Amino acid sequence: MVASPSGSGEWPAEPGRYRLVASLACPWAHRSIIVRRLMGLEDAISLGIVDPLQDDRSWRFSLDDGGVDPVLGYHYLEEAYLARDPVDGIENGVSVPAIVDVPSGRLVTNDFPNITIDLGREWSAYQRAGAPTLYPDELRDEIDEVADGVFHDVNNGVYKAGFATSQARYEEAYTALFARLDALDERLQDRRYLVGDHITEADIRLFTTLARFDAVYHGHFKANRQKLAEFDALWAYARDLYQTPGFGDTVDFDHIKRHYYMVQTTINPTQVVPLGPDPSAWLTRHHREELGGSPFGPDGTPPAPLPGPLRPLGPIDM
């Protein structure tokens, strides 16, 4: 991971200078897409979407015309990594999200936990009117505490279970995952959001895993004690977020399922992609507004509707 907080001066807030490269399939990258949209930073930081399928050079821009990112001029994200460090640039792999300096074409950071915090704090001068405060000072300790448990047992926990190579490791991850989900379900019985009365970093970090749970993790990663849709508060909470502008309109179930089922061939060697579950369930009533609170804070407003799809409409290899 290349850690370069914007406060360090390596990528000072400067509209038009950077490109966020992300995958709609990746939960870690999905966080940054949500925050960029909630903050209204579309005109300040451009967005490049990679193909959900990878080859031996990892993330590629094959959905764009000619297979070339129209801003960076790259075929592969690894080119930004190598522009930063031609010798060891891809030694630790090529990951998303990635912030790329457009003038130089160099990777600035792929530090996914701090990218979202920086977009919410360091770029405040360029945020839209009515943008929520996602990491308020008075709630920071509680957000960090909740997010830490979510990271270890849920965000990363599904991967620990899915890629376990022994029964003992799998059972350990499985047990921790569902213990944490049970605790979150209990926490959300009488509160609309994880911390405070509006959306924070904690909710964004949990949502991207929940959005993939029934479509991928339940079957593909053997996280199958129960589906998300079989939880009480947690499923209603997830639907509440999904129906909030900035969340559901950034979810792409097609990219999600194709990536996991077609790329991770050690788990799914046939590369057969399931047709379900039916995404219309995400639009059913949740009644979470009865708990009070407001998604964007007392003075906040929703982001404007998306003018079109987030992703290029080029072909996806089968």
- Per-residue pLDDT at 316 exceeds 60: no
Q: Which two tokens stand for residue 147?
A: 């997010």
- Per-residue pLDDT at 318 exceeds 80: no
Q: Which two tokens stand for residue 36?
A: 């960029």
Residues marked as catalytic: 26, 159
Sign of the Cα torsion 242, 263, 106, 63 reads negative
Mean pLDDT of 238-261: 98
Q: How much is the mean pLDDT over the chain?
A: 95
Q: Which two tokens stand for residue 58?
A: 């990892």
| Structural domain boundaries in the chain | 6-126, 137-291
- Per-residue pLDDT, 66: 96
- Starting at the edge strand found earlier in the chain, the sheet holding 46-49 runs 46-49, 18-22, 98-101, 106-109
Q: What digits encode the pLDDT tens for the residues 156-215?
A: 999 999 999 999 999 999 999 999 999 999 999 999 999 999 999 999 999 999 999 999
Please answer whether residues 153 and 209 qualify as being in contact, where contact means their C-beta atoms are separated by less than 8 angstroms. Answer: no
- Per-residue pLDDT at 5 exceeds 60: no
Query: 6-126: which CATH topology?
Result: Glutaredoxin (3.40.30)
Among 318, 312, 314, 263, which Cα is nearest to 22's? 312
Q: What digits encode the pLDDT tens for the residues 268-312?
A: 999 999 999 999 999 999 999 999 999 999 999 999 999 888 888
Q: How far apart are CA 304 and CA 16, in angstroms?
A: 20
Domain covering 137-291 in this structure, CATH number: 1.20.1050.10
